[in-house]
Structure 1
Amino acid sequence: MKNIQITPELARRIALHAQLLDGSAEFPAGKEGVARIIEQLGYVQIDTIAVIERAHHHTLQTRAADYDAVLLHDLQANDRRVFEYWGHAMSYLPMRDYRYYLPRMQQFAASKSPGIQRRLNKCGHLLQPILERIRQEGPVTSKDFEALPQEKGGAWWDWKPSKIALELLFWRGEIMVTERRKFQKVYDLTERVLPEGTDTRMPSDAEVEEFRVRRALSAYGIARAKDIHAFLQLDSKNRSKTSGLTALVEAGEVIPLTIRNRNGAEYYTLPATLEQTDQFSRRPATLHFLSPFDNLIIRRERVQHLFDFDFALECYLPAKKRTYGYFLVPMLWGDRFVGRFDPKADRKSKTLILRNLVFEPDFQDFETFLPIFGQKLREFARFNQCDTISIEKSTPRTIPEHCKDFF
């Protein structure tokens, strides 16, 4: 096979095009557009941190200017075009991919891992009673099990074991999240949530691994073997990290390549991607504020390798060990990351606070950038239901003074 090498610039443009961040994507407005975004990305990660709008809403709003949370709710609760399960982490996933998660559900049901066994020892006796309650009474939330034991006439109604039991049933695929109400999960029987015609055939190991590779390369555009393997938390009896990839390369359905000046690291792409490189021409620079859980940024090593941007989420570190701040939002301008900021939406005062705004040391084009930044920051404030903006600290220190005219 011919040794293919591409430039770092082309590699970045391929990645941004696949992630719908190069300004070329055209989707319908409303639910259909949001559904297509989720289908292209393969998953949208859910996270509980709410210092600004939660990660799943942020990731979708980055790509859909007319995004509203009700659109995602409708796609899950009414249209049944997405479902929740373990993707990269807990995620919204395209319903058409449902069957490829069946082995993971089966693995949870048969698991002898210490963690699962501890949960079963604590609340395994609750699984069937909870299933029967849902069957008889309909959808439930964990709050439906918060009553004191004496009020329900049985110790099994203790809240914490019941919540664990709901999660186990969910992991095993016996119940699904039918919707969320104010972020609270509402569970129902899987048979009542899955839309008619959903493919529920158990896939073979080879099918799971091929799905993993194709899904990852469609969403990433270009990726290394380790990126492909980590893309989704799927399960198959074949534990090889490269079995599906090797088979597709040998069949000519995946193309290996390298990137100039990247130490010979082997990347992979789909043939159709290489055939469309004329679509990846340089476009006017678009500014995006990415969620730290955004699909583009979540693989930190990949981002550093492709974009020369060293990024880490610091919210899980003690405050004294943080370099930049708690919940860092990377700024992508064109095909370059130019900095990051640590935001907080103060809901009471309706103020978007940038607790720390830091540009990359080699970034200099502030004259062009700041008006665009000001406009984008106003849009970001509105997305977070904020009316005013405050920058508490910045590097360079003069940025707040220069931004006064823009917001």
Structure 2
Amino acid sequence: MSHRLTRDEARRIAVSAQLLTAERPSGIVETIDALMVVNIEPTAAIAPSADLILWSRLGWPYQPADLVRLIEEDRAVFEWGGFYRAMTDLPLLLPEMRRRPQSAEAREWLAVNDVFRREVLVRLRAEGPLRAADIPDAAQVSWRSSGWTNNRNSLQLLEMLVLCGDVAVSSRDAAGRLFDVADRVYPSDVPLIAEEDAARERAERRLASLGIARAKGLAQPVEPIDVGEIGEEAVVEGTSGVWRVDPEMLTAAAGVTPRTALLSPFDRLVFDRRRLEEIFGYEYLLEMYKPAAQRRWGYFALPILHGDRFVGKLDARADRKAGVLRVHGVHEDETFTDEVRDAVDAEIRELARWLGLEVAGGR
């Protein structure tokens, strides 16, 4: 079956699938389960990405301490590949963990450092949880990279062992991650799922979380943005090629009530920049890596969603010492109507209230 969708319909499907309508989810685990992944980027110009993503869905009742409890005590949420995930998804990831590491270079490095690997696992078993800095570098061969991991052997080994499923992130604090052997973090009664079945179910869950996606997209290091032949075929007016759509969202999205939301730059609704431009006609680029003079919208500008359209960017910073959310500017993609301006201003006040700050500055 092939569907013909307007851009309005495609946007509503995408927004509804990402839980950004007036009908908010009821809890953290439910939200993470529906979103499938929540980005962990810790930059806290306003708040860490995971907290912004969950607040934008749940509203002011969400508190970061509740997420910490679910991760560290309840073990209902876990970290893998740079994302928080519901623990119920662990069986779907185990087949991929068994294939890791994927690159020949990483596999060879692990092989020549097998003594180091075994020593680290023994140390974690005896002393864990530990930070990478707590583990002496006993690598037989150093890791070589043009990036920041060059010669950081203990950290690189732990990263690989997490991806392989032998080690898990036990917790995080202001100093970073603590690692432990996986069987002290993950449940022991995980069902075994065939690799093909797990891949298909992951693709189905990904499409349900996105609503509409391409069958094939740009390759990602851990979590894909495409869905293969899952779902049903769709054509969206004004875009080229074929999309895949979650059939359940075709009717579910029609009757939703929209709202205004301030999103993390790492939110899955904006993560796929090509999809963002094709469906929403929205240009966005995270500018914190640019020199200040080259920024158009700000260091950590938040995309502003109003209904099923992105209408601008919020340039703000949390100044916790002064007790204020400093609003440096609200960049309007098109001149706001009074209704849009009031809704955006109200959401900025809600963000400040959730952070325990007062709003300072303005347009």
Shift of 1:282: 5.6
* Residues 11 and 222 in structure 1, CA contact (< 8 A), matched pair in contact too: yes
Scaled by the length of structure 2, the TM-score of the pair is 0.87
* Residues 17 and 280 in structure 1, CA contact (< 8 A), matched pair in contact too: no
* Residues 212 and 231 in structure 1, CA contact (< 8 A), matched pair in contact too: no
Q: Deviations over 1:231-251 (max 9, x none)?
A: 9637xxxxxx98x734x5xxx
Shift of 1:44: 0.2
Q: Deviations over 1:98-147 (max 9, x none)?
A: 1332243233347422x5656776x654322221112122321234348x
Residues 110, 313 of structure 1: alpha-carbon distance in 2 compared, 3 angstrom cutoff: closer
Residues 261, 388 of structure 1: alpha-carbon distance in 2 compared, 3 angstrom cutoff: closer
5+ residue gaps, structure 1: 28-32, 235-240, 249-253, 392-399, 401-407
Shift of 1:97: 1.5
| Equivalent-residue separation in structure 1 for 2:124 and 2:347 (angstroms) | 45
2:143: which partner in 1? none
1:328: which partner in 2? 301
* Residues 85 and 92 in structure 1, CA contact (< 8 A), matched pair in contact too: yes
| Equivalent-residue separation in structure 2 for 1:168 and 1:155 (angstroms) | 14
2:6: which partner in 1? 7
| Equivalent-residue separation in structure 2 for 1:8 and 1:155 (angstroms) | 54
2:282: which partner in 1? 309
1:203: which partner in 2? 194
| Equivalent-residue separation in structure 2 for 1:346 and 1:116 (angstroms) | 45
From the CA coordinates, give the structure whose radius of gyration is larger.
1
User: Any idea what SS the aligned residue of 2:213 has?
Assistant: coil
Q: Deviations over 1:208-264 (max 9, x none)?
A: 431232022100111121359759637xxxxxx98x734x5xxxxx2101122334x
| Equivalent-residue separation in structure 1 for 2:219 and 2:155 (angstroms) | 31
1:395: which partner in 2? none
Residues 258, 48 of structure 1: alpha-carbon distance in 2 compared, 3 angstrom cutoff: same
- What do you get for the CA RMSD once the two structures are aligned? 2.9
Paired residues, number: 353
| Paired letter, 2:153 | P
* Residues 315 and 326 in structure 1, CA contact (< 8 A), matched pair in contact too: yes
Residues 313, 349 of structure 1: alpha-carbon distance in 2 compared, 3 angstrom cutoff: same
Deviates most, 41-50 or 368-377: 368-377
User: Any idea what SS the aligned residue of 1:382 has?
Assistant: helix
Q: Deviations over 1:319-358 (max 9, x none)?
A: 3433222212011111111110222112221221223321
Determine whether 1:287 maps to 2:279: no
Shift of 1:192: 1.5
Scaled by the length of structure 1, the TM-score of the pair is 0.78
Determine whether 1:382 maps to 2:359: no
Superposed, 1:388-407 pairs within 5 Å as: 388-391=359-362, 400=363
5+ residue gaps, structure 2: 141-150
The equivalent position to 1:34 in structure 2, one of 28, 48, 70, is: 28
| Paired letter, 1:23 | A
Determine whether 1:81 maps to 2:76: yes
Q: Deviations over 1:150-174 (max 9, x none)?
A: xxxx899xx9433333223222211
| Equivalent-residue separation in structure 2 for 1:60 and 1:228 (angstroms) | 26
User: Any idea what SS the aligned residue of 2:100 has?
Assistant: helix
